[in-house]
Amino acid sequence: MKEVILNGRKNGMAVLLGVILLYVLAVIGFFKGATAHNIFIVIICGLVIAFAWILLLGLKVLKPQEALVLTLFGKYTGTLKGEGFYFVNPFSSSINPAARTKLSQSGDVKSNNSPIAVLTGDSSQMNVDLPSSKKLSLKVMTLNNARQKINDVLGNPVEIGIAVTWRIVDTAKAVFNVDNYKEYLSLMCDTALRDIVRLYPYDVAPNVDTTGDGHADDGSLRGSSTIVADRIKEQIQKNVENAGIEIIDARITYLAYAPEIAAVMLQRQQASAIIDARKMIVDGAVGMVEMALDRLQENDTVHLDEERKAAMVSNLLVVLCGNHDAQPVVNSGSIY
């Protein structure tokens, strides 16, 4: 379906004034015809009074960044875009299959007086609201789908949520190519999220290829969030191209291990951090011991044989690498 923009229809005010003038003339003619007993004028003026209001059905008012898709007896006739006061065929009807669908996004305002249903990532939770406007919003909107539980490339369950910024660029595709473009967008966001997340580990893992080039790399959901978000955006755009929707941006808003393994993974991270800290402490302690021995030899402070050097190295490493303060032992005798 190709979008057709209706131009030159901003004559709503002229039609409105013309209908008002027509009614005034019809009323005057009706009474004058009745006074003159002219049945023909009375009938004509009566028909005008009875049916001239139909012209008012063709008056359409659009605000900035709004569009109206029109059909005439089931045939697509065109789209009105841009603010203005329009007049179209009074028998035209506007189409917006997603008019009553509410997403957890900007633009869909919850009403306190009427029940609504929110579509948050799970299409089974969708309900409809009371009748609303058939106008399509062309504004940039942000969809914040519900968090999804997805297994990463290592099989670990991860909870992740994304925020997608989007807008309608082709009203004909959005209305006629898919049944409900809002529900379709939400479903495609969930699908793209699962397709991309399952390619990455939560954290950097060995022997994992996240780019598809056949070589292991350092890609991860936690460390490469921008790259992952860009791939999710590209995948969503590919999925919704036929719905006339442009994906402007996609960003990860929440990322964590699933609750059932979060405690175990936390212990694993803590153990890894302890090991890294111990390595740093040992490296520093060895350097300090080497420096102490070199200084003793340079200044000729004391002469140590290999056995005494080994004992000194052992004592210094115990002191420097221990978790608690060392308790000194004072030797008041000879060094041997």
E-state strands within 25-177: 59-62, 66-72, 75-81, 84-87, 93-94, 102-103, 118-119, 136-137, 141-144, 148-151, 157-168
pLDDT one-digit tens code per residue, 67-105? 999 999 989 999 999 899 999 999 999 999 888 887 766
Four-point Cα dihedral 105, 110, 116, 121, nearest 10: 20
What backbone phi and psi angles, to 5 degrees, belong to 239? -75, -30
Spatial contact of 132 and 100, defined as CB atoms under 8 Å apart: yes
pLDDT of the residue at 328: 64
Q: 63 Cβ partners below 8 Å, 6+ apart?
A: 83
Share of the chain above pLDDT 90, in %: 40
CATH of domain 102-257: 3.30.479.30
Q: 193 Cβ partners below 8 Å, 6+ apart?
A: 145, 148, 150, 160, 162, 232
Confidence bin at 124 (pLDDT 50/70/90): very low
Spatial contact of 100 and 129, defined as CB atoms under 8 Å apart: yes
Cα-atom radius of gyration of the chain, to the nearest Å?
A: 38
Q: Is the pLDDT of residue 240 over 70?
A: yes
Distance between CA atoms of 47 and 158, rounded to whole angstroms?
Answer: 69
pLDDT one-digit tens code per residue, 278-329? 788 788 878 887 887 777 777 666 677 777 777 777 777 777 676 666 666 6
Task: Identify the DSSP state of 105.
Answer: B
pLDDT of the residue at 112: 43
Sorted by where each begins, the domain ranges of the chain are 12-94, 102-257, 264-321
Share of the chain above pLDDT 70, in %: 83
187-209 mean pLDDT: 88
